Each structure stands twice: as C-alpha cells, then as structure tokens.
Amino acid sequence: MTSPETVRRALAAIDRDARARILATLARRFGDLDLAEDATQDAFAQAITSWPHTGVPESPEAWLKTAAKRKALDVVRRESVLAQKLARLRIEQERAPAADRLGDPADATAAQAVPDERLALFFACAHPVMSIEDRVALTLRFVAGLTTAEVAHALLVPVTTMQQRIVRAKKRIRTLGVPLEVPPREQLPARLCEVQRVVYLLYAEGFARSAGEAHVRDDLTSEAIRLARILRALVGGEACAQAASSELTGLLALLLLTEARRPARVNGSQGQPVPLAAQDRQLWNREFIVEGLTLAEAAAGAPGAGPYAIQAAIAAVHAEAESFAQTDWKQIAVLYGLLEALEPGPVVRLGRAVALGRAHGPAVGLRLLDTLADDPALAGFRPFHIARAVTLEELADYPGAVAAYRRALAIPGNEAEDGYLAAALDGILGGLRG
C-alpha cells in the first residue's frame, strides 16, 4: 500500500508542462478539446484512487496519458456517432496491446511534418477558420498549458472575456469539425505568424508570471526558446518561406538576449524582481548574449525584417551597454518608433514613452505616460503603473508615486512582484513620515 500523502506528492510533482503534453496528445487524436480536458481530469482522479493500491508508477506521466486515452475512448464508445469516430480514429489500433509500445500513429504522422509534438499542435491550433485571437488563445490555453487567467493577462483582456472567447472557440471547432491535426507542409507558412506569437507570449508569461509565488517560470522560458530554435530550423526546409527567416531569427535573438539577464533579474534571498537599473550585469549570461547579438544582427540585415527583428535590436542595445547609465535610450526610442509603425499597440507605445523619458528626462516621460492613461488595456496593465510610479518618484512627486504604486498593487500579479512593490511603497511612505 502507498500512503495517500505519497500519492498526492507524486501528482503535485507533475507540472503543467506534463499536463499540457497529455492534453495535447488527446486533443490531436480525438479532435475535441472538451473531451481532452475531461479525460485528463478523470485520469488524475483515477490516480488518486488507484495508486494507493498499485503504487506510484515508474512513469506517472505515461500512466496518466494511457488512462486519459482510455477514459476518452469510453466516452467515444457511448456516443451515437461511434461508427464514424471509430473509422476516423482507428480505434482498433488503440485497443491492441501493442499500441502503447508502438506509439500513437497520429504522433508519427505529426513527426514527419514537424519535428516536435508540441510545436505540431501549435500549428494545428492555428487553423485559418478561426479568428487570430481565438487561435492564439486556444494555443496558449491548451498547448502551452496556461490557465485562462494567464492567457487573459498575456492578451490584455478581462478574464471573463477570455473565458467566453475560449468557450466560443471550442464550440466553433466542434460545429465546423475543425481537425486538430498537423497541416500539410505547404500550409505551414500561412500559420507561422500565429505560432510565432504564441511562442513569444509563452516566453512572456514565464518572464514575469501573471500569478503565483515566483516572479519567473524557467520551464516556460526554456520551452519557448526551444520551440523558437525548432521554428527557425524549419525555415531551411520546405516548411516555411525564406522571407520569414529574418523574423524567426529575430524572435530567437530576442528571447536569448532577454533570457541572458535571467541570473540577475531576481534577488537570491526573497526571489523578488530586480529592476534593470539595479541588475549586476556581470551575472548576465555571456553565451546567450554572444549568440543573441549575432542573430539580432542577421535579422536586422535580412530582407523582410519585422517586429521581432526590431525588438531583438532593442534587446541588443541593452545587452551591449556596459551599464544602465550608458544605455543608448535615444536609439531605443527610435527603434520603438519603427516598431510602432509596424505593430501599433498600447504596450509598444508604453515602451516608447519609457525610452523617450530615459533619453530626455523624467518630465518628458511622465507627460508621454499620462497621454496613455485613458487606454483601457493599460489601465489594468501593471507595468504601466510601475513605470508611472518610478517616473513620479524620480520627479520627487512622492504622493503621486505612492498612488501609482498602490494602483499597481491593486492589479493581480505574482507574489514576488507584490513584495517588491510593497517594499518600494513602504520606502516612500517611510521617507514621508520621517
């Protein structure tokens, strides 16, 4: 017998990445996201009751994947369209004892087109019958393994709006019979833009978590970099047009140059974020910087350079500066201007305002930030209020900084960042009291 506590610990050790892999496998095989979710949850419930008697399996993820497939098959068998689904899913192969040993035929088909199961489903969720917003939301939710709240944060929409969007998207998939399968090679380029965006947003969620205790999630950032490398490798073959090369190179460069700062981004004692101005640049990952700068230069010089190439150039300026004071903020502001021309949006405008404030003084920065205050997307965006708080503090407007820090704290975020903001707020209040 295995104690319930041992079972609970074993299940808790199965991270969201593993859960996402299980769900992705089911979604691709059965073409039904609701069924995949339900079967995955049922498999975890079965583990709670079975493992105390059978023991924790050597590979819990494999056990859960098999159990979830069987749960899904049970549902399929009970449905009135059983015969049709049997033909499509080749259920006879699934029933054979050798099926698990030989692997999933659907997985093998995917591997022939795209050399990674997760990336294959990224492309599958980018089906053109759905809106761009739905494609990105579904992929982040069901392939990247983010919660609905995390997806809402990444896309700057309310959680209730995201819940409704995901429900509608899943209903559309069922109604139209959208196949959750890897498209032919010739269709991959048309879906590349959305896949790139998902990889970018996956990294962003790992870079600064929207919830939870820790400020960063290294598993998400590492996965995003891995997927970006695979995407770029696809450019050399038939899967993608050569015109996309600069953007794929730019995306990988951006992620590497950003990840290079990871060792200095949180303090060792409390795990709270360390602002760029206070980071010890000696801790930055030089290997990532060298590779990222080389890629950023290649992306900037290649035809078809777009938003990712420009963002990589911005990251390169930061990486090349020996100190925060030596950062070429004027160049960064110019690059943000180019980025805004290609991809206008509130976050880009925020970045440009901050850069111009650094280049020409905090008064200029505050004036530009205040012009963005009425943007509903930024009203609930914590970095916007942090930028205002820091700028107001630099201008010695301490009451204004206090109000901005409090506004930032009122917006949900990860606990480590909460601690950093609370400490900054307490520091100002302490100075005012003194």
Taking only the tens place, the pLDDT of each residue in 145-166 is 778 888 888 777 889 999 998 8
Give φ, ψ of 364 to 5 degrees: -65, -45
Residue 25 domain-assigned? yes
Domain of residue 50, residue span: 1-104
Residue 130 is which amino acid?
M
Q: 203 near 226, Cβ under 8 Å?
A: no
pLDDT higher than threshold 60 for residue 91:
no
56 phi, psi to nearest 5 deg? -70, 125
Report yes or no on whether pTM surpasses 0.85.
no
Nearest to 413 by CA among 206, 213, 274: 213
CB < 8 Å & 24+ apart, contacts of 325-330: 327/358, 329/355, 329/356, 329/358, 329/359, 330/359
The yes-or-no verdict on residue 190 having pLDDT over 80 is no
Closest CA to 239 of 283, 299, 189: 189
User: Does residue 48 belong to any structural domain of this protein?
Assistant: yes
Distance CA 106, CA 286 (A): 41
For residue 305, tell me if it sits in a domain: no
pLDDT tens sequence across 206-256: 898 887 888 888 888 988 898 888 888 766 544 455 556 788 999 999 999
In a domain, 69, yes or no: yes
What is the dihedral sign for C-alpha 240, 24, 202, 389? positive
Phi-psi region of 284 (alpha: psi -120 to 50; beta: other; left: phi over 0): beta
The percentage of the chain sitting over the pLDDT mark of 70, rounded to a whole number, equals: 86
Neighbouring residues of 299: CB distance < 8 A, sequence distance ≥ 6: 246, 247, 249, 250, 253, 305, 308, 309, 312, 313
Whether residue 36 is predicted with pLDDT greater than 80 in this model: the reply is: yes
Q: Would 213 be classed as within a structural domain?
A: no
Is 72 inside any structural domain? yes
How many domains are there within the chain? 1
Cα→Cα distances 309→321, 335, 400, Å: 19, 10, 36
Contact 215, 208 (CB under 8 A): yes
Task: Report the pLDDT value the prediction gives residue 209, as an integer from 0 to 100.
Answer: 83
Whether 85 is in a domain gets the answer yes
In a domain, 370, yes or no: no
- Give kind and range of the element (H or E) at residue 335: helix 329-342
